[in-house]
Structure 1
Amino acid sequence: MTSTGQPTRARDLCLALDLPQERKNIENTRAKLQRLVTLGMLVETEPGLFTQPRP
């Protein structure tokens, strides 16, 4: 998710997107990330840590 290839949390992504650090924003972002996991576009390496799949 980040340019370094390190797994990212929903909270960190909200911070990078300049969204207010409110619970609803973090939960909505987490839900969207989970949706991308089910579509195979992301991988959840640990609970709450998301990254792009390796080729």
Structure 2
Amino acid sequence: MINNIEHLVDNSELVEIIKQYGAKAPFAVAINGEFVAKSNYATTQVQPDDLVDIVSPIFGG
């Protein structure tokens, strides 16, 4: 699940999932509600039941 929508992905590496999802910087990532630092994207593995959130800031007021 990415942003509460089921996605089929080709790889379990977080960095590849982000690329496949098409996220554009700036964004932040959390897995199961836990923030993942950008420096850990390449070494983080996503499990089939994990909930991934990719969020971008919203500007304005």
> So what's the TM-score if we normalise by structure 1?
0.33
Higher fraction of strand: 2
Higher relative contact order, chain-length normalized (CA < 8 Å, sep 6+): 2
> So what's the TM-score if we normalise by structure 2?
0.31
Radius of gyration: which is bigger?
Answer: 2
Higher fraction of helix: 1
